[in-house]
Structure 1
Amino acid sequence: MTSSFIPSASYDISLLKDSQLLLPSVSIGNVPQLTCDLIIHTLHLKRVGFISSDAVIPVVGQYEDQQAIGISVPIEVYQSKDRRWTVIQQRSPTLKGKKQSLISTLITFIASAGFSQVVILTSLDAARRLDSQISGIPFRVVGDVNTVQDIYQTIQVPNLEMPPTEQQQKEDIDMTSTLPPMPGAGIARSLYQQLQEKKTKVIMFCMFVLEGDNVQDSVELANLLNTYYHIKSKDTDINNSGAWTPPKSWECLFGTPFNAEIYQ
């Protein structure tokens, strides 16, 4: 299978090699995509290509970079100026019955690009937390032992807990998997597992959230990633405020303001 990556004009695909890939999974609250929005627009990442897939709803929209010509499409690829980070942004949901097709497409792209590491972002249904997960921070990680230990020592984020065997049986979880259940996480669990099988270096950051206004959740997840990876440089944060820059589309995140007069 050939890679489905379509580079932008004049972009050399070899520049993807050895960068770190930030990959959001469409999941509850859309927190991973909102987080990637913050990173893309705060760091002024350049769109370097697209991923073609019939596994997502085909939509187009206005390109948010008003200084450039073009449109937004379902799966876009961005990269930082120093090529340290590559970010995928998925703008439309995966079609029913097409999850494995999308996973295969992403894995093919990852294998052909030669990334140094894949960082999956996902959100989990906070209403289905274990008792031990209710108190404390809402973040968890999934990864190899050494990486998980380093993350815990650096930012005190623990490994995602495995539920008791009895609960796994009640929820009909795959008992042969070494991964905990991840309600609301979309393709994240399967994608992580298959990347591991391909011997790809991969880590997954999870956040427990509830559906609603998830803007603050995305800011907190972006802050967590920045604390560990130092994504933002001093040059990026001109005012040294620590603030993230949302895209213009967030102005209509919950629709346009209603006309209060019609209720009078």
Structure 2
Amino acid sequence: MTAAELYISKEKKLVILQIRGLLIKEFCADFLAKLVDWMKKCSFTKTILLSSLYNYERVDSQLTGSPFRYTITSSVKSTVEEELKHLQWSALETRRSVWKEGTEEILFFPGGGYTNMLNKLCGKMNIPLVTLLIFCAEGDNIPGVLLITGHLNRWLNFVPMANDTPGWKFPASWKLFFGAPPPLTMY
């Protein structure tokens, strides 16, 4: 398995880092610190993280309407938030922390892996980070990926649209996501 792939389009001035594997807990903080340092050195115009959240962790206010949410670090330009709201994305609602006493409200990323840690690191390093999130079920994540990247494309318009659908080219590594089909002799 290829745990991470880097795609660069000089024509579109676009860099995509796809991390599909889990980050090992003992090395996660170090990896993310190095990633954030690299992001700072590159001085990207926009830095966007696509992530997902467990569907079953939705609170009552999240059960109706769009499955899409966003967060932004404090150094993101205010016009970006206006653009996201215009596209009918909602800011991720805060929740009371179940791990701390009191009524402190926090951003909660259930199933988001390193999303919370990366958001905090970018905030501390003053890196403008937009995190686009989708609530989805476990299993085949391709439909969720297509939905969230479709909405990303509606915002940034970097892939031509045909019938309101982006003309995606899929990475070669996606061909065997779930392995080969079962042998027909089985039946």
Shared fold (TM-score greater than 0.5)?
yes
Aligned 1:54-65 pairs, distance under 5 A: none
Matched, 1:245 2:177: no
SS at 2:23's partner residue? coil
In structure 1, how many angstroms separate the alpha carbons of the residues matched to 2:32 and 2:10?
Answer: 27
Q: 2:23 corresponds to which residue?
A: 94
What is the TM-score when the length of structure 2 is the normalising length? 0.85
Matched, 1:151 2:84: yes
Could you give the per-residue CA deviations for residues 6-28 of structure 1, whole angstroms, max 9, x where no partner exists? xxxxxxxxxxxxxxxxxxxxxxx
Matched, 1:104 2:33: yes
| Contact kept in structure 1, 2:67 and 2:135, CA below 8 Å | yes
In structure 2, how many angstroms separate the alpha carbons of the residues matched to 1:193 and 1:160?
Answer: 15
Alpha-carbon distance change, 109 to 162 in structure 1, aligned in 2, over 3 angstroms? same
RMSD between aligned alpha carbons?
Answer: 2.7
In structure 1, how many angstroms separate the alpha carbons of the residues matched to 2:51 and 2:155?
Answer: 17
Displacement of 1:178: 6.7
In structure 2, how many angstroms separate the alpha carbons of the residues matched to 1:177 and 1:120?
Answer: 25
Aligned 1:190-205 pairs, distance under 5 A: 190-205=117-132
| Contact kept in structure 2, 1:119 and 1:203, CA below 8 Å | yes
| Contact kept in structure 2, 1:148 and 1:158, CA below 8 Å | no
Matched, 1:84 2:22: no
| Contact kept in structure 1, 2:136 and 2:144, CA below 8 Å | yes
| Contact kept in structure 1, 2:134 and 2:148, CA below 8 Å | yes
Q: 1:141 corresponds to which residue?
A: 70
Alpha-carbon distance change, 84 to 178 in structure 1, aligned in 2, over 3 angstroms? farther
In structure 2, how many angstroms separate the alpha carbons of the residues matched to 1:194 and 1:175?
Answer: 25
Matched, 1:256 2:183: no
Q: 1:42 corresponds to which residue?
A: none
In structure 1, how many angstroms separate the alpha carbons of the residues matched to 2:131 and 2:65?
Answer: 19
| Contact kept in structure 1, 2:68 and 2:132, CA below 8 Å | yes
In structure 2, how many angstroms separate the alpha carbons of the residues matched to 1:126 and 1:113?
Answer: 34
Displacement of 1:193: 1.4
| Contact kept in structure 1, 2:4 and 2:17, CA below 8 Å | yes
Displacement of 1:152: 0.6
In structure 1, how many angstroms separate the alpha carbons of the residues matched to 2:111 and 2:99?
Answer: 16
| Contact kept in structure 1, 2:159 and 2:168, CA below 8 Å | no
Give the structure with higher Rg (CA).
1
| Contact kept in structure 1, 2:54 and 2:137, CA below 8 Å | yes
What one-letter code is carried by the residue in structure 1 that aligns with 2:176?
A: C
In structure 2, how many angstroms separate the alpha carbons of the residues matched to 1:202 and 1:251?
Answer: 30
Q: 1:127 corresponds to which residue?
A: 56
In structure 2, how many angstroms separate the alpha carbons of the residues matched to 1:115 and 1:90?
Answer: 18
- Identity, in percent, stands at 25
| Contact kept in structure 2, 1:141 and 1:157, CA below 8 Å | yes
In structure 1, how many angstroms separate the alpha carbons of the residues matched to 2:36 and 2:65?
Answer: 34
Could you give the per-residue CA deviations for residues 19-78 of structure 1, whole angstroms, max 9, x where no partner exists? xxxxxxxxxxxxxxxxxxxxxxxxxxxxxxxxxxxxxxxxxx6xxxxxxxxxxx543432
- Residue ranges of structure 2 left out of the alignment (5+ in a row): none
